[in-house]
Amino acid sequence: MQNTRKKDIRIKAASFRENCRIGRYGIIDLFRECERWGYKLLRYPLGENADLGFVMRRDSDIVIYTNTSIRLSREIFTLAHEIGHAILHMESAASFVDNDNTISGRDVDEMEQEANYFAACLLMPDDEVTKFLDLEMEDVEDNDLSALDIAKLMSEFNVSFDMAINRLENLGKISTEQRLRLDNERNEMRVGNLLRSVGGNYHLNVSSNIVQIPSEYMQYVIFNYNNNAIPMETLEKTLHYYHLSVDDIKDKLVVHAEENEDELADLIGGLTD
């Protein structure tokens, strides 16, 4: 990635961040900020082995999905990655589906690398990381950071252990050797224990399994059911979330002779119809 492109991405990430509610260093609630920007956010637990997220354009809306079966810290990074796609790439592509390869940086696709860089700049901007190390850590230049220090940083910026040490290395705050040592410390002590020991946000290390579906998606679900994109059982599950029954909306439904296979993937895929 060229330096001029990196600078452009940093500017766009900073512009988004300026309108967010910030704690001492990190964004307090990126999910809420996503909605405040007008994006339609869908959160659902599809399972640990499913895709981590996607972003797509539907008519005039930008729809973002995140999988709540993964650790909260990783879901937050996934959301930041999808916001990056929305801001950087939606004029050149209608949708992006992201999995472990794209989110972890193993995918060499240029737009995926750019979305990851945007996410890193949004969640852990260089100046805020520098300020944190200066004000919150003692004699960083003379003493190596410990895994407990990384746990404190995780809680302040709402990121994962891996995100924290990778960002520190990329910013030149730690060496590759130090990152490997911290990674070994993490494996020995476990992240949940590290977070608890520093009074940090241990929820970052577990999945939320939250179900969050914007109210306007009800019309999408009805449309998909009427067009045989989802079965009755999926419709009923969605209605249950809204505390409704089939009888409440029967005047809007088409009667089908047969039901299709019940998979939530059909619901998600149906949004692109």
Mean pLDDT to the nearest integer, 144-169: 94
Higher pLDDT, 36 or 141: 36
**Token couple for 219:** 């019309």
pLDDT at 143: 67
pLDDT at 7: 97
Using the predicted structure, report yes or no on whether residue 132 has a pLDDT greater than 50: yes
Q: Rounded CA gap, 271 and 219, in Å?
A: 11
Determine which of 68-77, 145-154, 241-250 has the lowest per-residue pLDDT on average.
241-250
Residue-range domains of the chain with CATH = 3-123 (1.10.10.2910), 126-204 (no CATH), 217-270 (no CATH)
Using the predicted structure, report yes or no on whether residue 217 has a pLDDT greater than 80: no
Using the predicted structure, report yes or no on whether residue 263 has a pLDDT greater than 50: no
Q: Which of 185, 181, 208, 220 is nearest to 29 (CA)?
A: 208
Over the chain, what HEC string results? CCHHHHHHHHHHHHHHHHCCCECCCCECCHHHHHHHCCCEEEEECCCCCCCCEEEEEECCEEEEEEECCCEHHHHHHHHHHHHHHHHHCCCCCCEEEECHHHHHCCCCCHHHHHHHHHHHHHHCCHHHHHHHHHHHCCCCCCCCCCHHHHHHHHHHHCCCHHHHHHHHHHCCCCCHHHHHHHHHHHHHHCHHHHHHHCCCCHHHHCECCCCECCCCHHHHHHHHHHCCCCCHHHHHHHHHHCCCCHHHHHHHCCCCCCCCCCCHHHHHHHCCC
Please return the burial class of 172, using the count of CB atoms within 10 Å of its CB with bins 0-12, 13-18 and 19+: exposed
pLDDT at 269: 57
pLDDT at 171: 95
In this prediction, residue 257 has a pLDDT band, given cuts at 50, 70 and 90, of: low
In this prediction, residue 18 has a pLDDT band, given cuts at 50, 70 and 90, of: very high
**Token couple for 125:** 């901007």
What are the pLDDT digits (tens) for 107-129? 889 999 999 999 999 999 999 99
pLDDT at 239: 80
pLDDT at 33: 96
pLDDT at 260: 43
What are the pLDDT digits (tens) for 22-74? 999 999 999 999 999 999 999 988 888 889 999 988 888 898 999 999 999 99
Higher pLDDT, 221 or 96: 96
Q: What percent of the chain has pLDDT over 70?
A: 91
What separation, in Å, do the N-terminal and C-terminal C-alpha atoms of the chain show? 34
pLDDT at 76: 97
What are the pLDDT digits (tens) for 176-196? 999 999 999 988 888 888 898
**Token couple for 144:** 């190596």
Using the predicted structure, report yes or no on whether residue 272 has a pLDDT greater than 60: no
pLDDT at 261: 44
Using the predicted structure, report yes or no on whether residue 273 has a pLDDT greater than 70: no
Using the predicted structure, report yes or no on whether residue 11 has a pLDDT greater than 60: yes
